[in-house]
Structure 1
Amino acid sequence: MGSDDLEPITPDAALDYYLDTRRYDLAEDTYSTHRYRLKSFVRWLRSEEYGDGEITNMNDVDLRTIHAFRVFKREENFPDVEPCNAMTMQGQVSTLRAFLRTIAGIDAVPEELPERVMLPRVDGDEEVDETILSAERARTILEHLIQWEYATTHHVAFLLLWRTSCRLGDLRALDLDDFDREEGALSFRHRPSTGTPLKNKSNGERDVSLKPHVVEIVEDYVDGPHREDVRDKYAREPLLPTQHGRPATNTIRTWIYKWTQPCRVGEPCPEGRDPEECEATDHRHITTCPVNVSPHPIRAGSITAHRDAGTPREVVSDRGDVSEQILEKHYDQASERDRMRRRREYIPDNL
């Protein structure tokens, strides 16, 4: 079925249709779970804040839309909701496929779309996504950026993600005035009325110190030729703008996908691909690269690297706006033996 054969319908109307048709053939608990999961999807579709732009017609939903939603749920999610682990994501996508199958019957989406949505694979009792960017890989990328992309928007974005352990949305929210040269610090502030909420709202507000060499790079960026002197639609000055204003979350995500490709920093492809022929070097297909990562593994890798370097848990928790319990479960991917070694220095000789 081509797009010309589809019947327009809003996400809310499609959800109402699905819930009405499934009301009597799903158990009460299952029905409530489906409603909760799909309300999240519809909320994301309608949101200019969290998605790639508001979608008001289900006819416009395609595989790229579904992929972007999965990335959002896995790496950011809505305020007060933790990112989905593999088990949760599998349930989310399973329900989404059921929804798409049902509304395909009323020509809201192409009939082949549900079958093209692949379920995440889960091994055993997997609860945590263990994909992280290692400190070694981060250093390699930063060394390349310093040499070839010094004080560009991409360089500063990657550097701040790695050094502050912040979320993608936190980075996007930074204004020029949030960078304090004298103190060597960044201020993360919750500004939902002008398009940049923090995940944990006002509780996520904090000031984060930067090392002198990081401050120097940010200063060179702010004062140099690579930063666009533009304002966003709220007349604010983003710290990391594009030519069109404040970047969308997907724009920043694409920057990270690009620079975590080994071929971009002069290394051979672990999959043996020829960069000259690989479609994943095209920004339109960059998510098909089997070895690059998105911002969330940078956050997880940064937190782990800080802990490995001896940074106390409470300090990492405050800098990264993550509870100590969630930090240990979802972000700090050190082995039990590595954690033992960290604790060793805190054990007194004489008790």
Structure 2
Amino acid sequence: MSDDDLDPITPEAALTYYLDARRYDLRDTTMRSHESRLRSFIDWLQDEGIQNMNDVDLRTVHAYRVYKREDNGDDDTCNDVTMQGQVSTVRRFLDHLVDIDAVPESLPERIRLPNVNGDGSDDTQLDSGRANAILDYLREYRYASAEHVTLLLMWRTSARRGGVRALDQEDFDADERALCFRHRPDTGTPLKNGDGGERDVSLSAHVAAVIEDYIDSPNRHDVTDDHGRSPLVTTEFGRPSVTTFQNWVYRLTRPCVIGEPCPHDYDPETCEFNTHDRASGCPSSVSPHAVRTGSITAHRDAGTPREVVSDRGDVSEKILEKHYDKASKRQRMRRRRDHLPEEI
């Protein structure tokens, strides 16, 4: 069947069809699991502007896997076990859509399930060398821009993109050089861990100075959001969406953007990823979650105590060690060395 023979159907309608078709095939617990996994897929399709399941192809499914592996909104990214379940359910979903001519017959069978191995954590991170190179470039060429402030705060405070998005101008205390992360679900900016995620985070003099310069510069638009609040980081339309923050990070972490040679031998003039809307496809670009992971690892390597990193980044020490701190065994040995007594 060619794409011209497909019958249009929206992602939402397709999900309704699938759940109805499987209502008597699956146990209640399995049904709830499928609905949760597919809701994530449907929401992502809609965020990507895909309004017709006829437009879903193998590249679409791959892009969704990248999103779940490296970003996943403000939730923890998928480990290999979770990813296998996600992709398996999406494949079954698409297989049922073949019956109503919504996707090509060959699509589900071409989707390969990821292998399960390792400890179930994700190793993607922005290393400190690249992070500092990008921040050096921003300081030189795009100083005190919204993108500069965003990446600087993500790197220096280990904050989630949702946390940075939630900041209002009044949450910056210039005198104390501090940021106040507050949970405000009623006005559109919840923190991932609710009230428990509220915290005050100290800033270095350099970081505080960049924020002050941003606030005082034309780079920051003097706007309010839909609830009358004044965001710290703005666009001309108000408070940036989480997708905007995500896209900024994808774009800035491409090596060519800061003048570095392409490690993949692509020509920047003709590279398909050298556009704003395709930046996430660059093999070297990383998500906001990878920035957070790299930041936490860099703080631990620099000797910041685990409990301090935990408090600043709003992550439990157990989760920090398993999912965020990606130090090697040798790096961990070197950290411990400074705390060993000479005589015992």
How would you bin the TM-score normalised by the shorter chain? 0.7 to 0.9
> CA–CA distance in 1 between the matches of 2:55 and 2:188?
24
Structure 1 stretch displaced more, 113-122 or 131-140: 113-122
Q: Residues 42-73 of structure 1: CA distance to partner in whole angstroms, max 9, x if unpaired?
A: 267469xx973899x76487358756754554
Amino acid at match of 2:244: T
Listed as ranges, the matches of 1:193-212 within 5 Å are: 193-212=186-205
Query: Does residue 337 of the first structure (1) align with residue 330 of the second (2)?
Result: yes
With normalisation by structure 1, the TM-score equals: 0.86
Match of 2:168 in 1: 175
> CA–CA distance in 2 between the matches of 1:292 and 1:206?
30
Query: Does residue 270 of the first structure (1) align with residue 263 of the second (2)?
Result: yes
1:7–1:74 Cα change, 3 Å? closer
User: Residue 167 of structure 1: CA displacement?
Assistant: 0.9
Q: Secondary structure at the match of 2:100?
A: coil
> CA–CA distance in 1 between the matches of 2:132 and 2:70?
22
> CA–CA distance in 1 between the matches of 2:210 and 2:204?
10
- Please, what is the CA RMSD of the aligned residues? 2.9
Query: Does residue 17 of the first structure (1) align with residue 14 of the second (2)?
Result: no
In 2, are the aligned partners of 1:18 and 1:99 still within 8 Å (CA)? no
> CA–CA distance in 1 between the matches of 2:121 and 2:81?
8
Match of 1:315 in 2: 308
1:254–1:113 Cα change, 3 Å? farther
Query: Does residue 6 of the first structure (1) align with residue 3 of the second (2)?
Result: no
1:178–1:93 Cα change, 3 Å? same
Match of 2:77 in 1: 83
1:22–1:179 Cα change, 3 Å? same
Q: Secondary structure at the match of 1:10?
A: helix
1:319–1:192 Cα change, 3 Å? same
> CA–CA distance in 1 between the matches of 2:135 and 2:325?
21
In 2, are the aligned partners of 1:74 and 1:85 still within 8 Å (CA)? yes
User: Residue 336 of structure 1: CA displacement?
Assistant: 1.1
Match of 1:52 in 2: 47
Which sections of structure 1, spanning at least 5 residues, go unmatched?
A: none
> CA–CA distance in 2 between the matches of 1:346 and 1:51?
51
Listed as ranges, the matches of 1:198-277 within 5 Å are: 198-277=191-270
Match of 2:118 in 1: 125
1:277–1:195 Cα change, 3 Å? same
Amino acid at match of 2:47: D
User: Residue 97 of structure 1: CA displacement?
Assistant: 1.4
Match of 1:115 in 2: 108
Equivalent residue for 1:39, pick from 32, 36, 50: 36
User: Residue 104 of structure 1: CA displacement?
Assistant: 3.4
Match of 2:139 in 1: 146
Equivalent residue for 1:189, pick from 172, 182, 193: 182
With normalisation by structure 2, the TM-score equals: 0.88
Amino acid at match of 1:19: R
Which sections of structure 2, spanning at least 5 residues, go unmatched?
A: none
1:92–1:187 Cα change, 3 Å? same
Amino acid at match of 1:204: G
Q: Secondary structure at the match of 1:208?
A: strand
Q: How many residues align?
A: 340
Match of 1:303 in 2: 296
In 2, are the aligned partners of 1:19 and 1:35 still within 8 Å (CA)? no
> CA–CA distance in 2 between the matches of 1:195 and 1:210?
25
Structure 1 stretch displaced more, 145-154 or 85-94: 85-94
Q: Residues 289-323 of structure 1: CA distance to partner in whole angstroms, max 9, x if unpaired?
A: 11111111111110010000000000000111111
In 1, are the aligned partners of 2:7 and 2:54 still within 8 Å (CA)? no
Identity fraction in percent: 48
Query: Does residue 103 of the first structure (1) align with residue 97 of the second (2)?
Result: yes
In 1, are the aligned partners of 2:6 and 2:104 still within 8 Å (CA)? no
Q: Residues 249-300 of structure 1: CA distance to partner in whole angstroms, max 9, x if unpaired?
A: 1211111111111111111000111111111001222122111111111111
> CA–CA distance in 1 between the matches of 2:65 and 2:203?
32
In 2, are the aligned partners of 1:189 and 1:204 still within 8 Å (CA)? yes
> CA–CA distance in 2 between the matches of 1:278 and 1:256?
18
Q: Secondary structure at the match of 1:327?
A: helix
1:3–1:165 Cα change, 3 Å? farther
User: Residue 118 of structure 1: CA displacement?
Assistant: 4.4
In 2, are the aligned partners of 1:174 and 1:238 still within 8 Å (CA)? yes
1:44–1:234 Cα change, 3 Å? farther
> CA–CA distance in 2 between the matches of 1:253 and 1:113?
32
In 2, are the aligned partners of 1:230 and 1:243 still within 8 Å (CA)? yes
Structure 1 stretch displaced more, 131-140 or 34-43: 34-43
